[in-house]
Amino acid sequence: MSNSPMTPAIAAGRLPAESYTAQFSDLHPVLDHHEALVASDRCYFCHDAPCMTACPTSIDVPLFIRQIATGTPEAAARTIFEQNILGGMCARVCPTETLCEEACVREKAEGKPVEIGRLQRYATDTLMAKNAHPFARAEATGKTVAVVGAGPAGLSAAHRLAMKGHDVVMFDARPKSGGLNEYGIASYKAPGGFAQSEVDWLLQIGGITVEHGKKLGEGLTLAALQDDYDAVFLAIGLAGVNALRAEGVDKEGVLDAVDFIADLRQSTDLSTLPVGRNVVVIGGGMTAVDAAVQSKLLGAQNVTIVYRRGKDRMSASEYEQELATSKGVQIIYNASPVAVHGNGSCAEMEFEFTHEVDGKLTGTGETFRLAADQVFKAIGQTLVGAPEGIKIEGGKIAVSATGRTSMAGVWAGGDCASGGEDLTVTAVAEGRDAAEDIHASLMEG
């Protein structure tokens, strides 16, 4: 967690106390029963549905929408959870506009897709509200598995392994489970403590023990885990933050966006969170957008995202970019940070305009400055704490299609592993698939 420095321009309580609840209310309220029936009626229930292919967890979208249409949302939820046990959170945070909904036939024909994400939330919320778990454990196998990291990949793997009858112990460095779902996404995407409610619901499967405050490399070694357990799944995420190559980055007011978001997510009183009057966010991904939008919602007067490449190169989707601008955030493209100016504390941020020549980013020599009493770095995270001797590829743990690492008996998935995009839904798929492979391996033995 960060302790944001308090300079005169960085202050808490910029808004009236009663405004914070409204500012951070649910971005996409759940559909009511009638709205869900109307939305489900738009689905063509395609054979070989492209939406299903576009989903990293391969949820049978036409089936679950048909189940909603026939008045059985609990059955629809089970269809979702069979493939994606974190389907509730994914319905809230998935970039559906670039996945299932972008592939929707109605999107291609009419420019208006079936609201798959909101329908998924309707179904999963309906079942979870009953506090009922749709699956039961198989007969105990006597096998034990260690899962390091209680984020989306770890939770997904642990649930699937427990369902298969294995005993699972999850280790996580933080005081709460959930990983990025708990600490790393915008509060308005999953308000009301949903991340922890989902974890508690998932653990109802039984057979999973969680130990917090346990970090790989600090009293927890891979060698010991290999000795004590029949298999190990690493889901340690990306704990490091890329360095900002600019002069003056050590000045007060220059912070990591991930720490700011984590502080906001864990706050019980948003009016106590300090925010600048002029906020600059450096980066082009979802973290940059989340930090920028939430700065604006906390009462910052001017918030600007600055990204070194063009709009089409931003990893944040066009929808997310438009969300930011709709909240009053300015986005400047093709500008790279040069220096932070100020007498001890940040006062201005200097940038150089850039352009691409044969795919290579090059400075133009033209610079400009932005008033900035608070700067958030959102320029990507790095792998920290990978066990010695394990193969690394492209800065991440090298894995096979089923998550096997270079070490026998050790699998990995989620953001720490090579392969898919750094999305919650991708992490869930990788955890699930690795668990299936671990199960097959243990049963062969």
DSSP string across 16-37? -TTHHHHHTS-SSPPP-HHHHH
Q: Give me the residues of the chain with pLDDT under 70, please.
A: 1-8, 445
Q: What's the rounded Cα separation, in Å, for the pair 295 and 127? A: 34
Quote the pLDDT of residue 2: 46
Quote the pLDDT of residue 172: 98
Quote the pLDDT of residue 422: 86
The CATH code for residues 144-239+383-444 is: 3.50.50.60
Quote the pLDDT of residue 445: 61
Statement: 241-377 belongs to CATH 3.50.50.60 = yes
The token pair at 155 is: 């939770």
Strands 231-234 and 410-412: parallel
The string of pLDDT tens digits covering residues 156-197 is 999 999 999 999 999 999 999 999 999 999 999 999 999 999
- Note whether 211 and 229 are within 8 A (CB): no
Q: What are the structural domain ranges in the chain?
A: 33-129, 144-239+383-444, 241-377
The string of pLDDT tens digits covering residues 279-318 is 999 999 999 999 999 999 999 999 999 999 999 999 999 9
Quote the pLDDT of residue 359: 83
- Note whether 125 and 88 are within 8 A (CB): yes
Would 144-239+383-444 and 241-377 be classified into the same CATH topology? yes
Q: What's the rounded Cα separation, in Å, for the pair 344 and 250? A: 9
The CATH code for residues 33-129 is: 1.10.1060.10
Task: With CA atoms as reference, report the closest residue to 290 among 213, 190, 203.
Answer: 190
Quote the pLDDT of residue 78: 98
Residue holding tokens 């150089």? 352
Quote the pLDDT of residue 419: 84
- Note whether 172 and 149 are within 8 A (CB): yes
Q: What's the rounded Cα separation, in Å, for the pair 306 and 70? A: 47
Phi, psi of 10, deg, nearest 5: -110, 115
